[in-house]
Amino acid sequence: MRTTYGIAIRKGGQGKSTTVSTLARLLALYGARVLVVDLAQPGTTTASLRDAWPRTEHGDLSSVLVSFRHLPPGATPAAREVRTALSAAGLPVALPSQPSWSGGRISVVPWDELQGDAAAFLQSERVLAGILAGIPDAPDIVLIDYPAEGGPLLTNALTVTDRVIMPLAAETPALEGADAMLRLMTRVREAGHPITLGGILLTRCDPKNKRVFDIVQTILQADDVQGEPLSRKLYPFAIRANEFYEQAFRFGEPIWERTSNPSHWGGYVLLAEWVLRDAGLAHLAAARRGPALLPPDTHILAISALVLDDPEMRLADFEAARAATRPSLQ
């Protein structure tokens, strides 16, 4: 059964697109069939995957959305009509499989400039749900890069999402963006859709910055916020700030093409394995290969060690500590 993850926070500059593209590549590496839906202007996620982009023509999601503008509120497009509209647009775009993916694949519904305008005509909040349900050869996992602006496109994304993964940089405005996202999720649950917070991922983390510790303490001391137990939703690993992600985005390639040090992307490997287990694909999580084949001495930025002079732990020690404590979020 497909699980849909929204990568979302109501604040820019938190690493959403980095998380989507890196996570998609790693999940495919493990053998998962991944669908990326890029709803975030200006299409950074789409651009970041251009090293694997096929030389084929395709249409736009905006044309598919417009074809369902007459659906009344609450209505879901019929699967046959969805397949016809997607086929006419040549969507989703299938990226050429790479040998290291071992049966996994990535397909993309790319961002286009008219998405927001097209979505403004929608009456139903169930159009995107119908589009995803009607995609032939259903994916195992859907990753949605959320739009920054509000409106029907955001509402459609919220309605189809099962779990939200929230990237959060260690800065006070990010907490405000997280709170705004949680309030949105509450309204969606009240409307009858059981969306939940999968976890909070600390990104662009400089452990020497005191604000990192302050932000972590704020989250860990929070109990129930908008129906979510935040203290139990913070992933135990973080993504260290480094220049290699910016370089990778500039060239449209994965970070492991810019640096050979797996410590820079080790946190995303752990996130990919969490997603696989959460999506019921635990059997794939055991098959580390290629860039995901982390050496035991890979340094992991551990949330529990941020109070120490050196918050990095060897992967072997980190995994042993997590196995011993068996927390709810691994």
pLDDT digits (tens, 9 = 90+) for 102-159: 789 999 999 999 999 999 999 999 999 999 999 988 899 999 999 988 899 999 999 9
Residue 29 has pLDDT above 70, yes or no: yes
pLDDT digits (tens, 9 = 90+) for 203-253: 999 888 888 888 898 898 887 888 888 889 999 999 999 999 999 988 899
Cα angle for residues 212, 215, 217 (degrees, 5° grid): 105
Tokens of 216: 């972590």
Mean pLDDT of the chain, nearest integer: 92
Helices (H) then strands (E): counts for the chain: 13, 12
pLDDT (0 to 100) of residue 99: 72
Name the pLDDT band for 330 (thresholds 50, 70, 90): low
Determine which of 3-7, 40-44, 122-126, 142-146 has the lowest per-residue pLDDT on average.
40-44
pLDDT (0 to 100) of residue 170: 80
Say what angle helices 172-190 and 210-221 make with each other, to 10 degrees: 30
CA 312 to chain centre: 24
User: What does the pLDDT average to over 299-316?
Assistant: 88
Residue with tokens 């990778």: 248
Residue 160 has pLDDT above 90, yes or no: yes
Distance CA 126, CA 121 (A): 13
Residue 327 has pLDDT above 80, yes or no: no
pLDDT (0 to 100) of residue 181: 95
Domains of the chain, start order:
3-325 (3.40.50.300)
Torsion from C-alpha of 154, 215, 211, 303, nearest 10 degrees: -110
Distance CA 116, CA 309 (A): 46
Length of the chain, please?
Answer: 330
pTM above 0.75, yes or no: yes
